Amino acid sequence: MIDKIGTLRWIKRTVDQIFALVNSILTLQDTGGTLVSVVAGGEQDIYRVETPMGVFKPLCLKIDTTVMAAGDSTTIRVYERIRSGGGLVLSGTFVYAGVQAIPMKTITLDPNRHGVQVTLDQTVGVTKNYVWAVMFEV
Amino acid sequence: MAKGYDKLSLDYGMVLDLRFDEGSGLITRDKAKPHHEVDLVGPPAWVQTPNNVTVLDFDGATNYLECPEAETLDLDFTDDDYSIACWVNWEDTGIAGEIVVGRYDLDVAHSGWELYLAWNGAVNSLTLRHHHAGTLVPPITGNPRSACYSVGWTRGVWCLLMVSRTGGGEAIHYRNGVALTMVTGGLVDPETCSEDLVVGVRYTKNATWYKGKMWGLRVWNRALSLFDAQLMFEMESHLFEV
């Protein structure tokens, strides 16, 4: 009986270890939405993960600037946190003005463990609906 | 190496996947393909558990989530299969009945569906209700109010709730991956509904508040199995030390 219980415990531990390994494999997924810009209203969050559950891997943010017209100016900023409790620090700024010849913009994001934020700041022009999506592995 | 979200068996048919990983702000985003944008009203507090899971904490008085009716037509289950799962750690509001999630109203022609926790003395129950506006007392005209419920939903501890409903048939409740004994008078199919999707509050957004913490609210357009319930629990129970 003891041998059988011991065997069952060994199988349970093995299965648990397999589950842990499978869980640790990152899963490619996405999210997205439509951001209605507030002109000269400051930065608006597009995508934000304050405290990831563990190491995760943002890949890129796609944003459709087809809606931009002459006179519009929009800035996208990327912030990253690289230590627990630290601040979100600016790591990239992308400025788009007027009609875009290539409307679909791709902003590359780096792997992260402590937080990432992408904002949109339309400084000039008329309010627009920006469609966006983020691809990431978690 | 990465797995593909849509290739995972549990993610097949997922139409709402809220993991609350933003940790800040007034919007939480759907990781399922429809990308529903869900607004925080109140708002519920972002809280991080000792295991670094970011959850939402509802105050039981003013906090809820909402997504407009027009953007949740894919959650308007009428004669369809559907399933709901969520980690909850609920508390006493002093008033029996706490809506977990619903897309419903009390209009006889547009009743929809709702899932709520309730306590009555020592009995803590989970109820899936269809056609809330239906009559209870004979002579019943049209569809009666219908529901199925399970008991033993202890307050103040984390547990994974799941309900799985086959269109035209009954629903099965699961707690922590275990199928529960159900009490039901027979679930009629819900009518189409013209109300917003609500989380943590009645469809009128002014009562039946949910109090406590919540994580990983998911909805599928298919009936999940016992195996799915067990798999989900095995994959996530360590997050809440259950």
pLDDT tens string A85-114: 899 999 999 999 999 999 999 999 999 999
Going through B60-181 in order, the beta strands assigned E by DSSP cover 64-67, 82-90, 98-104, 112-120, 123-130, 146-151, 159-165, 171-175, 178-179
In a domain, B56, yes or no: yes
Note the pLDDT of residue B138: 66
Instruction: Report long-range pairs for A80-88 (Cβ below 8 Å, ≥24 apart).
Output: A80/A110, A80/A112, A80/A114, A80/A115, A80/A116, A80/A117, A81/A112, A81/A114, A81/A115, A81/A116, A82/A112, A82/A113, A82/A114, A83/A114, A84/A114, A86/A114, A88/A115, A88/A116, A88/A117
Which spans in chain B are helix H? 226-236
Mutate to test the interface with A, among B31, B40, B215 (most CBs of A within 10 A): B31
Average of per-residue pLDDT values in chain B: 92
**With an 8 Å Cβ cutoff, are A51 and B29 in contact?**
no
What per-residue confidence (pLDDT) applies to B29? Answer: 95
pLDDT score of B100:
98
- Containing domain of residue B25, as a range? 14-239
Look at residue B226 in the predicted model and tell me its pLDDT. 96
> What pLDDT shows up at residue B94?
82
The CA dihedral of B177, B183, B186, B187, to the nearest 10 degrees, is -50
Pick from B5, B46, B48: CB nearest A29: B5
Total domain count, chain B: 1
Give the CATH number of the domain where residue B213 resides.
2.60.120.200
Q: Quick one: closest CA in B to A114, which residue?
A: B52
pLDDT tens digit sequence for B139-179: 666 777 889 999 999 999 999 999 999 888 889 999 999 99
Residues written for chain A: 138
pLDDT at B137 over 70: no
Structure token pair of residue A47: 């995508």
How many whole angstroms separate alpha carbon B224 and alpha carbon B233?
13
A-interface mutation test, from B24, B56, B234, B235, most A Cβ less than 10 A away: B24
**Band of pLDDT at residue A69, cut at 50, 70 and 90:** very high
Q: Where are the alpha helices (DSSP H) in A1-138?
A: 2-24
The answer as to whether B177 is a domain residue is yes
SS3 B157: coil
- Yes or no, beta carbons of A30 and B235 under 8 Å apart: no
Name the residue among B230, B199, B239, B172 with its Cα closest to residue B99.
Answer: B199
Q: Is residue B89 part of a domain?
A: yes
Residues B20 and B206: beta-carbon distance below 8 Å? no
Contact between B113 and B190 under an 8 Å Cβ cutoff? The reply is yes
The whole-model pTM stands at 0.92
pLDDT tens per residue, range A8-43: 888 888 888 887 787 778 899 999 999 999 999 999
Residue B5 lies in a domain: no
In a domain, B169, yes or no: yes
% of chain B surpassing 90 pLDDT = 73
Binary contact (B22, A26; C-beta < 8 A): no
The answer to whether residue B9 is domain-embedded is: no
Average pLDDT over residues A64-79: 97
Is the Cβ pair B5, A34 closer than 8 Å?
no
In a domain, B7, yes or no: no
pLDDT band at B110 (very low <50, low <70, confident <90, very high): confident
CA distance B196 to chain A (A): 18
Least Cα separation, residue A15 to chain B (angstroms): 10
Distance from CA of B223 to the nearest CA of A (A): 23
Measured between CA atoms, how close is B27 to chain A, in angstroms? Answer: 10
Pairing verdict, β A26-36 and B2-4? parallel
- The pLDDT value given to residue B134: 78
Please report the residues numbered 22 through 81 in chain B whose beta carbons come closer than 8 angstroms to any beta carbon of chain A: 22-25, 27, 29-31, 35, 37, 46, 48, 52-54
Q: pLDDT: is B141 or B89 the higher one?
A: B89
* pLDDT tens-place string over residues B117-132: 998 878 899 999 998 8
pLDDT bucket at A45, cuts 50 / 70 / 90: very high
Residue B115 counted as domain residue: yes
List the one residue out of A135, A115, A138, A121 whose CA is nearest residue A48. A115
* Per-residue model confidence (pLDDT) at position B34: 94
- Are B5 and A52 in contact (CB < 8 Å)? no
Give CA–CA dist B182/B73, Å, rounded.
Answer: 29
Most confident range, picked from B2-16, B58-72, B182-196: B58-72
pLDDT exceeds cutoff 80 at B211: yes
